[in-house]
Every structure is written in structure tokens, then in C-alpha cells.
Amino acid sequence: MIGYGFMGAAHSHAWRSAHRFFDLPLTPVLATLAGRTESAVTEAAARYGFEARTTRWQDLVEDPAIDVIDICTPGDTHVEIALAALAAGKHVLCEKPLANSVQGSQQMTEAAAAARAQGIRSMCGFSYRRTPALAYARQLVAGGAVGEIRQIRAQYLQDWLSDADAPMTWRLDKDKAGSGALGDIGAHIIDLAQWISGREIAAVSGTLETVVPTRPAAGTAQGLGGRGDTSGQRQDVTVDDVALFTARFEGGVLGSFEATRMAQGRKNAMRIEINGSAGSVAFDFERMNELEVYDATAPAGRQGFTRVLTTEPEHPYAAAWWPTGHGLGYEHTFTHQIADLVRAIGEGTDPSPSFEEALQVQRVLAAVETSAAHGSAWHSTDPQEPTA
């Protein structure tokens, strides 16, 4: 694994846990952790349970004993690492967004396609797909429970940057992160809306806003919160804080999207609702073990959203865990992700989301940026059209 921050911790836990709860054809071994700082990567390797550590990610690519490379670094490094890993015959799990540009994502996708012909698997880490309630929502929609889809709305609301004196991080630097709320959390709801509905976004009209244009230098603050350098030095924020856009899906269905890190009181409110001719499904990650289902065909007097507790063994992934009613948490989505990837590698099948699916998300992100730059004009996600 390359990178040992927030995602590194989540992925490490998943690699350690997956084979203990799922019947997998292969058993993961945490071989080597790579990171730039010797002292930090040494401490992280010991804490996460890796056998070795290095400050050169190239060591992992060059090690013939390593089968899988897990990329948990900022987006500006994904292309170089993934291309090298695939060329070396390593299976690759890469955190989202796939890269910081359509061009970089396209390079990774082409390399993954070539490697696939040699039996090398690749997957992008859109972990929310592995939430049992959302996987169940997809099953319901595919089975016709909502009828003909008429409208889709999605939000991802956080507040960890609401304080104007919250410190600068790499997530606020366009060169490293690619974009702000749009790519960091908006990518998730774009992927989920397309995955659950079974339709791709064809065109968008968007607006981006940087609410807090400068931030205190990072100082010694860690994680997603904390205070910055108190010396008074501030740095420019070069990404968006708020992203709003409307979307037209294949077939003409309209969608509305909001991604913000300015929503005071909302800690991780990732929400999606799909309305159809026969009913609706609605989800909020702050109640991640629940799915709301509305049946418009129910008789008058009995209509209303039903709260489905998705902890029954019949629900996706739930049978591997605890007795009915004993809920799962955020970390379980990563364990499910690893279980699916290891199973695909062992069985010789292609895991999902593929790099191709992640490239489509990148095209939507680029189209939103282009639309915002041209005064919210509608912009196509078609690869033949110019993109940012």
C-alpha cells in the first residue's frame, strides 16, 4: 500500500479483516507500506500491521513477491504509480477520483485494459457502493421497484471546512487534489447516481464557489479538522468549497447535485433519492443501515415511506457480519471492497467499479468545471467534446 493517512488507515483495516469475515479464494498479506517520511511510515507500518516499510513507492512495484498495489495517495500521483504497477503485472486498487484530469484517467484506463488481457485486475475505490443499503437500493431499482425513473437528486454535505481558520491541507491545493468538494465528495454521489440508476450522465450545468479564499498555513494540525499556523501566514485555496450542478442522464432524466464542505451541522450527510413512476428510494449515510422505500402502488391510506433496516442476511454483504439489527459502520464499506477485489482476483473476473467507470465520473467532473467556467452553460460529458 502507498500512503498511510485517512484512507491508508481505512484500507489497512479492510485488508486485515476481509478474509476473517468472508470466504475468499486468497488470503491477503500486508507486505510493505510506502510513504515519503521515514519516521511516519515506520510508525504507520507498525500500527497498521505491515511487515515492512519503505520511502520509495517504486520498491513495491519492483518487488516480485507483491501481487497487489493499493494507491491511497493524493490524486496528482495516481497516474504515475498506477501505470508503473500495471506495467509490472500488479493488480491495482486506486482511490477515487481516478486521476486529476480526464487525460490522466484515460491513460490509466488504457493501461488497465491492456493489463486485463494478461489477467491483471484493476478497481477504483468508490467504497460507498459497498454500503448494504445502497447496494440494496440498486437491486430494487434494477428490479423495477420504482418503475420508470423520472428524477434523481443527490447531496454530499460536510462542515469540516466551515471555520475560515481551519488549516490549509493538500485537499485545498488544486495541483494535488484536482478539485475541491466537487472531486473529493461530489465524485461519490456522481458514481452512486449512475450506478444505482443504471444510467450515465450525458450533460451538466454547474457552478463552483470558493467560499474561503485563504487558509492559515497547516502548522502541525492533523486530519480533517484542527487549527492552523497561528503566525498569521495564510495560503491561497485553489479549489472549490461548494459545487452545485444539474445533470441530464441518458434517456433525458434530470438530476440535481450538491457537494459542499460548508454545511454547518452536517458531518457526513451523503444523500441520494431516486423518484420513479411506481415509487422512490431514499438514503442518507448518517443513517447508513437504513433505506427508505416508497411504494406508490400501495392502496390509498397506506402510502408513505417505509424504513427498511438493511441488516438482514438477505441484504447485500450483511450475512457475513452480525445478527439482524446489529448495524455496520463506515469501515465495513472498505472491508466489502477488499472482499470483492480479492474474490475477483482469485476467480479471474473483472471487479467493479472499473477504471472505465471511474473515467466516466472524471468526465462528469471535468464537464462541471467547464460549465462553471462558462457561466453555467450546459456541457456534454461526451469524450468527443472538449473538456477541461
Q: Cell numbers for 193, please give them.
A: 447516481
pLDDT in tens, 77-107: 999 999 999 999 999 999 999 999 999 999 9
Give the length of the chain: 388
What's residue 385's pLDDT? 65
- 37 located within any domain: yes
Same domain, 103 and 169: no
Domain extent at residue 111: 6-128
- 381 located within any domain: no
Per-residue confidence band for 230, with pLDDT thresholds at 50, 70 and 90: low
Q: What span, in angstroms and rounded, lies between the C-alpha atoms of 186 and 270?
A: 9
Same domain, 27 and 50: yes
Same domain, 37 and 159: no
Q: Is the pLDDT of residue 2 over 80?
A: yes
Cβ atoms of 199 and 135 closer than 8 Å: no
Cβ atoms of 93 and 125 closer than 8 Å: yes
Q: Is the pLDDT of residue 68 over 70?
A: yes
Same domain, 109 and 149: no
Q: What percent of the chain has pLDDT over 90?
A: 94
What's residue 295's pLDDT? 97
Q: What are the CB-based long-range contacts (under 8 Å, 24+) for 81-84?
A: 81/2, 81/57, 82/108, 82/111, 82/112, 82/122, 83/107, 83/108, 83/111, 84/58
Tell which of 128, 150, 169 closes a domain: 128
| 93, β-bridge pairs | 70, 123
Same domain, 166 and 311: yes
pLDDT in tens, 114-146: 999 999 999 999 999 999 999 999 999 999 999
- Specify the CATH number for the domain of residue 307: 3.30.360.10
Q: Is the pLDDT of residue 221 over 60?
A: no
What's residue 280's pLDDT? 98
| 156, β-bridge pairs | 259, 270
Q: Is the pLDDT of residue 226 over 70?
A: no
Q: Is the pLDDT of residue 386 over 90?
A: no
Per-residue confidence band for 220, with pLDDT thresholds at 50, 70 and 90: very low
* Structural domains counted in the chain: 2
Same domain, 34 and 176: no
Q: Is the pLDDT of residue 225 over 80?
A: no
What's residue 217's pLDDT? 94
Same domain, 141 and 87: no
Q: Cell numbers for 155, please give them.
A: 447531496
pLDDT in tens, 232-258: 799 999 999 999 999 999 999 999 999
- 255 located within any domain: yes
Q: Return the number of other C-beta atoms located less than 10 Å from residue 322's C-beta.
A: 11
- Specify the CATH number for the domain of residue 118: 3.40.50.720
Tell which of 70, 98, 128 closes a domain: 128
Same domain, 326 and 261: yes
What's residue 384's pLDDT? 74
Cβ atoms of 328 and 318 closer than 8 Å: yes
Same domain, 141 and 46: no
- 76 located within any domain: yes
pLDDT in tens, 312-343: 999 999 999 999 999 999 999 999 999 999 99
Which residues lie closer than 8 Å to 346 by C-beta, 6 or more apart? Answer: 24, 25, 26
Instruction: Residue 364: name the closest of 246, 261, 260, 242 by CA.
Output: 246
Same domain, 25 and 74: yes
Cβ atoms of 208 and 273 closer than 8 Å: no
Q: What span, in angstroms and rounded, lies between the C-alpha atoms of 293 and 279?
A: 8
In the predicted model, what is the mean pLDDT of the chain? Answer: 95
Mapping DSSP to helix (H, G, I), strand (E, B) and coil, where does residue 52 land? Answer: strand
What's residue 227's pLDDT? 52
Cβ atoms of 122 and 219 closer than 8 Å: no
